[in-house]
Amino acid sequence: MNNLLNKLSFDWLKTDIVGALPIFFAANIAALSIWLLGISEHTMPLILGIIAAGLSDLDNRLTGRLKNIFFTLIAFAISSLSSQLALSYGWIFIPLITVITFTVIMLGAIGQRYSTIAFGTLLVAVYTTLSYTPESTWYGNTLLILAGTLLYGVVAVLVYLCFPNRTVQENMAQYFEALSHYLQVKADFFDPDDTEHLPQKQFDLAKANIAVMNTVDKARVSLFYRLRGQHRHLRTQKMLRYYFTGQDIWERASSSHSQYTELFEKLENSDLVFRFQRILELQAMACQQVAYALRHNEQYQHSNRGEKVLQGLNRSLQYHQQLEIKQLHKLQSIAENLRNIEGQLAQLTDENIQPEISKKSVKTARLIAENVSGFRNMLQAIRSQCHLGSQLFRHAVRLSIVVFLCSLIVEVFAMEQGYWILLTAVLVCQPNYSATKKRLIQRVIGTILGVIVGLSFNYLSPTLVAQLGIIVASSSLFFFFRTNNYSFSTFFITIQVLVSFDVVGFDSDSAMLPRIIDTLIGAGLAWFAVSYLWPDWKYLNLHNSLKSTLASNATYLRHIIAQLQFGYRDQLSYRVARRSAQNAVAALSTVVSNMTGEPNKYKSALEFAPTLLGLSYTLMSYISALGAHRAESNQLHHQIDFSALFFKQGKLVAELLDKMAKGDECSEQVILDVDIQLQQFEVEYQDKIDQKSLILLQQLRLIVQMLPQLWGLRQKA
């Protein structure tokens, strides 16, 4: 039976379909109950409760899911009941929904999981307004919404028990897909026939890096919630091994040991460059095959083509070594990284290898993945975001004002079912202008088409059974498309609501024009808010993002220098520092991307912003290259002269990065003096120190040589 379910899940049921199964089964059960019990007038709150629960659903293990259901029921009950009672008194609802909105958005400072349930709670308050009638009992809609929520929760648990590992394997597959794309973009750097588009390549690599970061987050969270209760579960251990393998591949691939254009300048007619490109392309294909194996629950089989190409690369390196090519050791370092990646991919073939999940490693995984914990820490996290420089705070204030205005319009003009305006505004208004504009267009198009199609059903005079079938289908399709096509998602939920109106007894024909007008008003208010209420262009600047990037890279470099000096330890603090540096570059990339979406407002900054992003990413990749050699730290202490210079200058470079971050005067003469000292040592001791030490020395020089250009752009920003 289990084998049949696994085959069904991985061969036929895609992740989007599995994700929509709970809503499909729950909506079917609800529709059947409505038909058998003859309670069609209660259709809307029951179905809306199911949808709200689905939007608040979180991936977790069994006990975690049961806890989520419990707390979701409590949050939904408070939200719905308070909204129902407030609506009975009219104007009281306006301050209530405004306070709920601000609180819900600010909970995002604690963590994404809190934010998801909180936003579902806000939607429940809005859904209560859609199903509210003055003659309804004060507890009726609340009980129906909670019944729908509980029904979805039970069905979701049953679906999870049938496919317990589908989500974590899909997240891991997306992780390796992103790694595949990253390696393919990296391979473009090893193209001697295309040396004119380096800034664009750096920009593309930065975007590919952010895609990897996003998938790493999803994979880590999935593993985190399974590790807490299944430390010895074989499948969880396997996924943990894949996760750490991907991390090692990412770090090796993201490390840059040189400026590739200059390095390959004298090798453009050699086969050596193409061999590097070929092995990267093969490794990108291998990562894609890992993703395929994960999706289809098959054992990954590593091809020996990569090993053959590596052997050819080694022979080519030996040939060029006899020709005494300069900087050959840098090429050998790149080859060493590629060998490591190939080895990491090859070991995935062996099912018998299991990661050592010690108490320490489990603790590390938990600490990295957890949301903010402890009431005091939660308050501190929220308090730290309470300023207009925080995008989260601006969004919370902005959306609260929009919600206030929407509710005020409904009350002032006594609009029957006018809270569709509120629902539209809540769903359309996003943290930044570009995202809001995109969602606004999709929402308007989806709503208009949904109204037209939804009302066309009335001309067919459908029976109650047919209407309930349409509600089930449209609800399921809404969930299926909600993450990949918002226009389709809006289209189907509009149909669902209009048909629900007809089932409940409202005149859906007369609701057509009001729904369109309400949508336009809500979308218009959302657009006005992001355009004129603390708009991003007043706060979106390169200065703070670059400051954070430089400071986090300085911390990352310090941790690497410390491990090179005092011994290799892959402890939590190093991982946190590395992750902070990656997050800072990702934030800088987001700023540049948002600016690119509005070229007229950021014309002057866009003249150098992409170059700045490319340099920032290159800086981090140079630092990562140092980190890739932490395991050889013990060998460095046997070379006293090298250690004395390298560790001193490494700490000085970290201090220079910190100064640049703070905006303190960073003398180019100081930078030049560091470079000269490193160069003189390299010339004097080139034949006296081993190859690893020489690589580390030259890698530090690459970082130093970037600083003047970074400082110049830092002053512009």
Among 33-37, 413-417, 524-528, 675-679, the range scoring the smallest mean pLDDT is 413-417
Would you give the DSSP letter of residue 192?
A: T
Counting Cβ atoms within 10 Å, is residue 304 exposed (0-12), middle (13-18) or buried (19+)? Answer: exposed
Would you give the DSSP letter of residue 456?
A: H
CB-CB contact of 446 with 437 (8 Å):
no
Give the closest residue to 84 by CA, choosing from 137, 121, 39: 137
Q: Mean pLDDT over residues 609-637, rounded? A: 75
Q: What's the pLDDT score for residue 318? A: 81
Give the closest residue to 355 by CA, choosing from 223, 250, 239: 239
For residue 317, give the H/E element and its range.
helix 305-322
Would you give the DSSP letter of residue 432?
A: S
C-beta pairs of 459-465 under 8 Å, 24+ apart in sequence:
464/35, 464/40, 464/503, 465/35
CB-CB contact of 657 with 557 (8 Å):
yes
Residue 415 has pLDDT above 60, yes or no: yes
Half-sphere exposure of residue 498, counting CA atoms within 13 Å on the CB side? Answer: 28
**The tokens of 708 are what?**
């003047």
- Amino acid letter, residue 189: F
Residue 28 has pLDDT above 90, yes or no: yes
Half-sphere exposure of residue 400, counting CA atoms within 13 Å on the CB side? Answer: 17
CB-CB contact of 685 with 641 (8 Å):
yes
Residue 30: other Cβ atoms inside 10 A: 25
Residues 706, 503: Cα–Cα separation, whole Å: 67
Give the closest residue to 286 by CA, choosing from 340, 231, 348: 348
Which of the two residues, 178 and 571, has the higher pLDDT score? 178
Q: Mean pLDDT over residues 616-637, rounded? A: 74
Give the closest residue to 354 by CA, choosing from 467, 472, 234: 234
CB-CB contact of 331 with 273 (8 Å):
no
CB-CB contact of 36 with 321 (8 Å):
no
Query: What angle do the packed helices 140-162 and 43-55 form, to 10 degrees?
Result: 50
Q: Mean pLDDT over residues 674-692, rounded? A: 76
Residues 648, 644: Cα–Cα separation, whole Å: 6
Give the closest residue to 117 by CA, choosing from 369, 371, 368: 371
**Model pLDDT for residues 222-248, shown as the tens digit of each residue:** 887 777 654 456 777 888 889 888 888
Q: How high does pLDDT run on average in the chain?
A: 81
Residues 471, 458: Cα–Cα separation, whole Å: 14
Q: Please, where are the H alpha helices in 188-327?
A: 198-227, 234-254, 260-263, 272-295, 305-322
**Model pLDDT for residues 154-191, shown as the tens digit of each residue:** 999 999 988 888 888 899 999 999 999 999 998 888 87
Q: What's the pLDDT score for residue 9? A: 53
pTM: 0.77
Residues 602, 535: Cα–Cα separation, whole Å: 13
Residues 630, 469: Cα–Cα separation, whole Å: 61
Which of the two residues, 295 and 568, has the higher pLDDT score? 295
**Model pLDDT for residues 523-550, shown as the tens digit of each residue:** 999 999 988 888 876 766 677 788 888 8
Give the closest residue to 279 by CA, choosing from 243, 307, 315: 307
**The tokens of 667 are what?**
């003398």
Residue 208 has pLDDT above 90, yes or no: no
CB-CB contact of 97 with 125 (8 Å):
yes
Q: How confident is the model at residue 351 (pLDDT cuts 50, 70, 90)?
A: low
Residue 110 has pLDDT above 60, yes or no: yes
CB-CB contact of 47 with 32 (8 Å):
no
CB-CB contact of 630 with 650 (8 Å):
no
- Amino acid letter, residue 110: I
Q: Determine the 3-state secondary structure of 150 from DSSP.
A: helix
Map tokens 């990949």 to a residue. 484
Residue 355 has pLDDT above 60, yes or no: no
**The tokens of 510 are what?**
């007369």
**Which residues contact residue 117 at a Cβ distance below 8 angstroms, ignoring those fewer than 6 apart?**
56, 58, 68, 71, 72, 75
